[in-house]
Amino acid sequence: MEQNAVIEQVLALTRDMEHAASLADWPEAARLAELRSPLIMSLDAQQAHASGDALRSVLARNAAMLADAQTSQRELEAEYSAAMKRVNAVGQYQKTALL
């Protein structure tokens, strides 16, 4: 695949990953990242240097998606913790109700 085509494919996959991340579809974002990684790895040093601006854009977008993923993870952990507390409270209520 020609260098420009590879870079365009990398950018397209990155845009698709951003879209998936905006929908909190993390499995899809991960799937797209797995498709994108071999393309990035296929670039040699000269190609990567020539495509520096595009790759810097990809890195910046990755950083933003990582920050979103970390925020989502913290939110999900908080929701899970709150749900488990409610489950425990229901369990305590049931134990008390059976006395």
Q: What is the domain partition of the chain in residue ranges?
A: 3-97
Query: What pLDDT is recorded for position 1?
Result: 61
Query: What pLDDT is recorded for position 43?
Result: 84
Tokens 């085509």 — which residue?
5
- Torsion angle of the four alpha carbons 62, 29, 16, 12, in this order, in degrees rounded to the nearest 10: 60
Name residues whose C-beta falls within 8 Å of residue 18's C-beta, 6 or more positions apart in sequence: 61, 64, 65
Amino acid, single-letter form, for residue 44: D
Residues of the chain with pLDDT under 50: none
